[in-house]
Amino acid sequence: MKKIISTMAALAMTASLALASEQFSMSAADKELYQEMLENNPADIFVEEGSELFDELVTEEAMAKFLGVKVDDLPKTIATFPRYIPQVGEVLGLDQVMQAVMYLNGHKPFKLKSGKMFSMLAYAKSLANDLPVAIDVNANEKMKESYELGTKMFMTKRGKRGLSCNSCHSKEVVGLLLRTQKLPDLGEVDAGGTWPAYRMTKSSLRTLQRRFQGCMKNALLAVIPIGSKEMVALEVYVTNLAKEKGKKIAIPGLKR
């Protein structure tokens, strides 16, 4: 019975999306504002703040040393995140690596959900701007395991509504409208390469994992902590979608 109810709920959601029309999409005024922000992204202020924090607390030299690469190769390495970190024995996001480097540099690491970490992550990832998203989900067994877990997290239905990430991003519903927004193909919109991004509706800088949390909350799902094994795995999966589409790093992004 529970399975039948979940299936009916999913069908009802798809039907409601199909009935939505362009009149409920982004208004002309919002579209104009969006175009203006593309030229003057408010997130640039946060990236500048992140630059100052990074230079003071992390530094390119210390980051490169931790990752075992030359400073000149740091941008190319950043484009491969999330990635397996041998010193920890786990697949980590770039923000978690910066926490480790901050600690080794004698500083108290920022919390992953803090605004300062969001800003610093935006700056660090922007070092790889214009480079192709280069995550390698087949690099080693740990990356393969993380990708498999991320796939499971993306596809598994949970919560009272019986929804998954795929419920709103499968080929069957991409392009339909939900809450005035077209549901995107996450690979095509380069979700893995354009976060951290400025969210117009939140008037703040957000990271990809923070965006995942917002989706989970809206879908009445249990919210997974930023930096958890499951959340990193979900970022691995979504970032690989961008790689499959041949997308590039473009930070900071701009999202409605």
Q: pLDDT tens for residues 81-140?
A: 999 999 999 999 999 999 999 999 999 999 999 999 999 999 999 999 999 999 999 999
| 35 closest CA partner among 26, 47, 48, 24 | 26
Number of domains in the chain: 1
pLDDT, tens digit (0-9, with 9 covering 90-100), for 159-176: 888 999 999 888 887 767
Please tell me whether residue 107 adopts helix, strand or coil conformation: coil
- Helix residue ranges per DSSP H, 110-140: 115-126
Q: Is residue 116 part of a domain?
A: yes
Q: Is residue 2 part of a domain?
A: no
Q: Residue 159 belongs to what domain range?
A: 26-131+140-255
Q: Is residue 43 part of a domain?
A: yes
Q: Domain of 48: which CATH number? A: 1.10.760.10
Q: Is the pLDDT of residue 11 over 80?
A: no
Global pTM value: 0.84
Q: Is residue 199 part of a domain?
A: yes
Residue 192: partners with Cβ closer than 8 Å, 6 or more residues away:
133, 135, 186, 208, 235, 238, 239, 240, 241, 242, 243, 247
Q: Is residue 6 part of a domain?
A: no
Q: Do β-strands 204-206 and 197-199 pair in parallel, antiparallel, or remain unpaired?
A: antiparallel
Q: Is residue 4 part of a domain?
A: no
Residue 56: HSE in the Cβ half-sphere, 13 Å Cα cutoff: 11
Q: Is residue 111 part of a domain?
A: yes
pLDDT, tens digit (0-9, with 9 covering 90-100), for 174-230: 767 766 678 889 999 999 999 999 998 888 999 999 999 999 998 899 999 999 999
- Helix residue ranges per DSSP H, 128-207: 141-155, 165-169, 191-194
Q: Is residue 235 part of a domain?
A: yes
